[in-house]
Structure 1
Amino acid sequence: MLHWGSDAGGAPAKAETQCPFCSVQCKMTVTPGEKGVPGQHRTAYKVEGVPNAASEGRVCVKGMNAHQHAVHSQRLLHPLVRSNGELVPCSWEEAIEMISRRFQTISEQYGPDANAVYGGGSLTNETAYLLGKFARVALGTRHIDYNGRFCMSAAASAASKTFGIDRGLTFRLADIPLARCIVLAGTNIAECQPTLLPYFHQAKENGAKIVVIDPRKTATAAMADIHLPIRPGTDALLASSMLKIIMDEGFVDEAFVRGRTNGYDELIAYMSGFDLNRAADLCGLEAELIREAARCYGMADTGMILTARGVEQQTDGHLAVRHFLNLVLATGKIGREGCGYGAVTGQGNGQGGREHGQKADQLPGYRSIEKEEDRKYVASVWGVEASSLPGKGVSAYEMMELIHQGKIKSLFVMGSNPVVSNPNAGHAAAGLKNLEFLVVADMFMSETARLADLVLPVTSYLENEGTLTNLEGRVLLRTAGRQAPGETRHDWTILCSIADRLGKGPFFRFNEPEEIFNELRLASKGGIADYYGITYGRLRREEGVYWPCPSPEEDGVGLLFRQSFAHPDGKAVFTATEGERWAGASGDYPLILTNGRVLSHYLTGVQTRRSPTLLARELENFAEIHPLTAQRYRIRDGEWVEILSEHGSFTVRCRMKDHIRQDTLFVPMHWGGVQNVNHATRPELDPFCKMPGFKTTAVRIRPLKN
């Protein structure tokens, strides 16, 4: 119970907090119990869900056990510096002095763009905002991006082009039970956002039909009325197939299309020569099954389409999402109750983390770093000259390429583990090893931290107050209920300390997160993601406020696009562009590798693998393989196998599952080392949003005999 707060009577205090993991951000309380059970050395903790508008008081197994990593004995408690090849303790004074000196030296020798910053989608809004400001004001570098590039970039860019705004859900979670048809494309909500499942069960009880598009019969697909086991990499083609049927069979809402959209005539021309049977064959599906799904969505009075990483993590992910958005617009199923589009955000603050400046091309409020008026406004808030702000940088993986080319010499990593999460992971790790200076701020000795010259210990979700924005655009305040252990510091205070040592202290005079948030509010004012009307006081009283919220007197907007879209003319935009389809598997690499999540782990597993309860559920990585495929390659259930692509290989045990396509292998993404699936994933990027093609890698498999 060390470092835990106490109530007036001296008893351990109940910490009111929210889960640090997925984008639902379930509210909960964590209460430490008393030691004293004979033979028991650990403190028992009681975790309870708190009623709220998103999860309605539900908490999944990850949230119930999240405190286990926060109180884990492996928490980093002191700064560590590399000396004679080993990481050894040092003081904060030494750490901050070293960072400022090395950054300044590299900037003077190579230019400011030789320093780079790599953030994360689980940081609070305050830290994400400050990280962007730190890169551009304190370091003066254009090179900042974050791991959300691998999560939401395809859906974000597609929604921005189509609607003029990117917010995870265009509707409220409470609207889901009002839909009469729900299409879940490449999303396994049952394992990734399990506390949302009751919304979909309520919809089914109300008569809704659910269509699931996934190469595996997941726990989510098990509740579907129609399951489309698609060949990975053909999602855009499937969406166009459904659109062809909707257009041919008269399910288009002509009044909506003519009154509220642009580009429909071009879409008609694009679809005129579309061959449904050929498309079905390429998708690995029966044309009649596609027809059944299209009719289900087209005929429903209300309907929703939700996409996630299965559709988005492809080299045509941007256009794949836009083709699904064509379906939404053609049927007019948006801007009213029970209708809309949703990108099921992955990371805890995947939404807010991409809104306020840690993305290479963005300034706070979803402003563009390339627009002069946006630069001038943000510069005025920051008190600097607009001309001093650097220009657009590059995406997360492209930063790894610049490191290999010697153009980036130092990297500051906060809240991420790029050694495991990047595609072509061996290439990324090799680059990081060759940096002149690598700083990592983390709670644990991650795979990336092990390579660092300096490691900074940061506080956990139980100790670090701040706001996060959930998948429906609801801004939530997470309070701190536990004192910081050891010498750990809040991530935002670390940034302020470094900036001060770099001579930029006057721009980083913050004493608490609320002060940062108030500057963020002003910086976002008038932007697409307008937080100006949201205050800590409102968040405490209202338990969450939707953005956009332009003034404190207004309610946030939960259901978007009732009257108009966010483009200047108020209209949404169809696309008639066909992406370059993945070439597919080949003779040398005949199988398709796709990756994803499992219920008990999160991202690269740095936190969840420190939870004994969660780790016990999945101790090691695995590959799902169809029994007939396993038989063809003489692989036995539970046997160790090597999976190889053109880019690398990894080793895992296999699990025979008849719920997966025979041409597809599925491997979770939560493990590093020899079990890291990203050793094999390919480095090609989506040309629109720079998303890697995690879901489509051609591989071969072989058993590892004793």
Structure 2
Amino acid sequence: MPPAPDAPRSPLIATHCPYCSLQCGMNLRARGTQSTDPAEVVEVVERPDFPVNRGALCGKGRTAPAVLSSRVRLTGPLVRRPATGRLEPATWEEALRLTAEGLRRTRAVHGADAVGVFGGGGLTNEKAYALGKFARIVLGTSQIDYNGRFCMSSAAAAHQRAFGLDRGLPFPLEDVPRTGCVLLVGSNLAETMPPALRYLTELRENGGKLIVVDPRRTRTAEQADLHLAPRPGTDLALALGLLHLVVAQGRTDEAFVRERTTGWEEARASAMAHWPELVERITGVGVPQLRAAVDMFCGAPTGMVLTARGPEQQSKGTDTVGAWINLVLATGKAGRPLSGYGCLTGQGNGQGGREHGQKADQLPGYRRLDDPAARTHVGRVWGVDPDTLPGPGRSAYELLDALGRDVKALLLMGSNPVVSAPRAAHVEARLGDLDFLAVADVVLSETAELADVVFPVTQWAEETGTTTNLEGRVLLRRRALAPPTEVRSDLEVLHGLAGLLGHGKGFPTDPEEVFEELRRASAGGPADYSGISYRRLEEEDGVFWPCPEPAGGTGTDGSAGGTAADGSAPGAVSEAHPGTPRLFLERFATPDGRARFVPVVHREAAEETDAEYPVVLTTGRVVAQYQSGAQTRRVAELNAAAPGPFVELHPRLAARLGVAEGQPVAVVSRRGRAVAPARVTDAIRPDTVFMPFHWAGGGRANTLTNPALDPTSRMPEFKVCAVRLEPLPAD
């Protein structure tokens, strides 16, 4: 029952949404009910003082407490019983013992690298840090990666090449409405991050211009002053064509290029090989539109290019993002106030998740695993000989592809690759071939259903921990209620397994204690968190990294403060470092302080259309579901809005195939077949179809997608593959 009108209101607990990388601020308040269902105990209340979303929430954020319900979540450990072959209830002691035995047995028979670890971009910084440490110290394996590899790894690689540092946005979102022009590439903010759409609305209200690049006329594209709709997989040619026109029209910023960059001559030569008429033939974007885009972008005194999964989830994603960065550099719209290039990170902690060690080639603080100095520093913090730390392992898809062959056992936390991985039916088969699989999750996902042991773990409202949003803003989520009795945190899972595997110390269960160690491990690294503390995060609306400890604090050797990754000073002894909301204003994070142009050339997608597979498939999200849908598909309100998959196709393509609205259609690629009802719309190119990827079963879009990998980032080519469509009877 609700409290009486004159009863005192329960205090608000400030926290953050568990879904996308905006990490919208929200408040939780106890309802005053006698219910024992956690979903009914708390309600979401707006938090208008948090600067990122200013109180706005999408449907996923508003309904987030629904997943806390014991009716939809895991409430106790499960183990697969040999007698029945089914997952059945077990005690924590049994689940931990069976997992430790499975991991130990695999190591003894096949070696340390036969044990794999797969993490998630939704894990807090503390969990991601502990998982990477567990893999490298307790298991001694190099075989660890995470699903964030599928999110923005191409942009991260391009950031590193051009700027020497990877942070999704080098400026806060509040700068976006104040710039002169935003060129948004492959992002549908209206559906993926609805509260962020206001920044584009305010941009236009302030007189700024918006250019959207997307093969579909999405709700975001409808807001644009100019919409460019290239054929999927041709974004690289489009960026090169725009740069060609910038050069040909004499609109490069020669002073900026000369004073703050290197490599321009080679990059310019590669762009000049992509003349407008050639780019029109490749992309389908007319030359007049190309010229209009250049006029709009170069005509503004300030400007930003923002990319998302569209250009990144390609087998040439790193070069594609690099081409857009070259455009920003050539026009002098980088390293200056209200200008720059940024990537819209997708997953809730996609930024922090890759900074602290669950990625195959990295150590905490965004240090390189193959850097001897980094290994020495982290080894000292962990109390181990750096020579005992394994080297870089396989990337995410390569790790999944090796399951059941080189990798015999897997510990998986916070991911659902049965739905989210490319060539998903193959990945599902690989998971089934493992000798042992343990999964920690909040729900019984499609991947957890295959496990030998399933650990039920705490959710966002039941635990304290930090995340890092797309701006590089480190945030504190606060515990609001206790979890069910038989649910424990991921940190407790790792603590229990480490103890059974001979490491009784070094894996605390208190998240603040883990964060304090993370601070020391990150000190002096590119992603330096050493100047950030829980106490500080409780008092501020997040702190932007790099934020080194002031001189006299904890530094790279455990005794002295470091230098920020962008070259700024660490701050005075008596004052906390303010954090770094805006990067690169004085210098880039390269050894010489200059940004690097990287010459790139257009190349075709790994799989082009042909007579047998004549249509391009691209995939994406819808507003009411999130990622693999493991959580959002359990929320009635969200399912009512988006109940299942669909195939979006143009009326001309539908007429040619004889497909009517709502008719089931089989979409067939070289990897498999998915069936979903047709959604006929002129908002998509006639040579392209679109499917959302949130669902399992017969409508699983990732059954079709191509695992061809970018050579640098190892990102799979989710956004482009060749398919054919087969109309099915309406019944």
Range of TM-score over shorter length: over 0.9
Matched residue, 2:226: 226
- What amino acid sits opposite 1:440 in the alignment? V
Secondary structure, in 3 states, of the residue corresponding to 1:85? coil
2:361 & 2:492 partners in 1: Cα distance? 25
Structure 1 residue 203: Cα displacement: 1.1
Matched residue, 1:47: 45
Matched residue, 1:60: 58
Residues 75 and 443 in structure 1, CA contact (< 8 A), matched pair in contact too = yes
1:336 & 1:529 partners in 2: Cα distance? 21
Residues 214 and 228 in structure 1, CA contact (< 8 A), matched pair in contact too = yes
Matched residue, 2:373: 373
Which of 568, 572, 578 is equivalent to 1:555?
578
Structure 1 residue 11: Cα displacement: 7.8
Whether 2:91 is the aligned partner of 1:91: answer yes
Matched residue, 1:489: 488
Matched residue, 1:25: 23
Which of 595, 599, 602 is equivalent to 1:572?
595
Matched residue, 1:675: 699
Matched residue, 2:645: 621
Structure 1 residue 47: Cα displacement: 3.1
Residues 495 and 509 in structure 2, CA contact (< 8 A), matched pair in contact too = no
Equivalent residue runs for 1:158-169 within 5 Å: 158-169=158-169
Equivalent residue runs for 1:466-615 within 5 Å: 466-508=465-507, 510-551=508-549, 553-578=576-601, 580-582=603-605, 583-615=607-639
Secondary structure, in 3 states, of the residue corresponding to 1:351? helix
Q: Deviations over 1:180-216 (max 9, x none)?
A: 1100000001111111111111111111110000000
Residues 464 and 477 in structure 2, CA contact (< 8 A), matched pair in contact too = yes
Structure 1 residue 111: Cα displacement: 0.3
Matched residue, 1:411: 410
Equivalent residue runs for 1:303-322 within 5 Å: 303-322=303-322
Residues 49 and 59 in structure 1, CA contact (< 8 A), matched pair in contact too = no
Matched residue, 2:4: none
Matched residue, 2:563: none
Residues 674 and 101 (structure 1 numbering): CA distance in 2 closer, same or farther, change over 3 Å?
same
Secondary structure, in 3 states, of the residue corresponding to 2:707? coil
Q: Extract unaligned runs of 5+ from structure 2.
A: 2-6, 551-575
- What amino acid sits opposite 1:381 in the alignment? V
2:10 & 2:106 partners in 1: Cα distance? 48
Whether 2:191 is the aligned partner of 1:188: answer no
Residues 120 and 414 in structure 1, CA contact (< 8 A), matched pair in contact too = yes
1:74 & 1:469 partners in 2: Cα distance? 28
- What amino acid sits opposite 1:669 in the alignment? F
Q: Deviations over 1:358-390 (max 9, x none)?
A: 000000011011111111110011000001100
Residues 42 and 481 (structure 1 numbering): CA distance in 2 closer, same or farther, change over 3 Å?
closer
Residues 524 and 532 in structure 1, CA contact (< 8 A), matched pair in contact too = yes
Structure 1 residue 59: Cα displacement: 1.2
Structure 1 residue 12: Cα displacement: 6.1
Residues 459 and 11 (structure 1 numbering): CA distance in 2 closer, same or farther, change over 3 Å?
farther
Structure 1 residue 10: Cα displacement: 10
Of residues 291-300 and 688-697 in structure 1, the stretch that sits farther from structure 2 once superposed is: 291-300
Matched residue, 2:444: 445
- What amino acid sits opposite 2:383 in the alignment? G
Matched residue, 1:4: none
- Give the structure-2-normalised TM-score: 0.93
- What amino acid sits opposite 1:672 in the alignment? A
Residues 32 and 46 in structure 1, CA contact (< 8 A), matched pair in contact too = no
Matched residue, 2:553: none
Q: Deviations over 1:207-265 (max 9, x none)?
A: 11100000000010000000001100000100000001111111111111011111001
Structure 1 residue 542: Cα displacement: 1.2
1:214 & 1:272 partners in 2: Cα distance? 24
Secondary structure, in 3 states, of the residue corresponding to 1:23? coil
Aligned residues, how many? 695
Residues 162 and 325 in structure 1, CA contact (< 8 A), matched pair in contact too = yes
1:647 & 1:387 partners in 2: Cα distance? 42
Residues 113 and 46 (structure 1 numbering): CA distance in 2 closer, same or farther, change over 3 Å?
closer
Structure 1 residue 299: Cα displacement: 2.0
CA RMSD of aligned residues (A): 1.7
Structure 1 residue 95: Cα displacement: 1.0
Equivalent residue runs for 1:337-486 within 5 Å: 337-404=337-404, 406-486=405-485
Secondary structure, in 3 states, of the residue corresponding to 2:270? helix
1:365 & 1:625 partners in 2: Cα distance? 44
2:509 & 2:406 partners in 1: Cα distance? 35
1:295 & 1:584 partners in 2: Cα distance? 32
Q: Deviations over 1:610-642 (max 9, x none)?
A: 111111101111111111111111111001111
Secondary structure, in 3 states, of the residue corresponding to 2:121? coil
Matched residue, 1:263: 263
Residues 271 and 601 in structure 2, CA contact (< 8 A), matched pair in contact too = no
Structure 1 residue 271: Cα displacement: 2.9
Secondary structure, in 3 states, of the residue corresponding to 1:503? coil
Residues 29 and 50 in structure 1, CA contact (< 8 A), matched pair in contact too = no
- What amino acid sits opposite 2:213 in the alignment? I
Residues 51 and 58 in structure 1, CA contact (< 8 A), matched pair in contact too = no
Secondary structure, in 3 states, of the residue corresponding to 1:507? coil
Q: Deviations over 1:642-683 (max 9, x none)?
A: 100001111111111111000111110110111110001112
Identity %: 47
Secondary structure, in 3 states, of the residue corresponding to 1:219? coil
Of residues 543-552 and 128-137 in structure 1, the stretch that sits farther from structure 2 once superposed is: 543-552
Structure 1 residue 584: Cα displacement: 2.2
1:481 & 1:498 partners in 2: Cα distance? 27
Whether 2:144 is the aligned partner of 1:144: answer yes
Q: Deviations over 1:493-537 (max 9, x none)?
A: 1111111111112222x2411110010011000000000101111
Matched residue, 2:278: 278
Q: Extract unaligned runs of 5+ from structure 1.
A: 2-8
Whether 2:655 is the aligned partner of 1:642: answer no
Secondary structure, in 3 states, of the residue corresponding to 2:440? strand
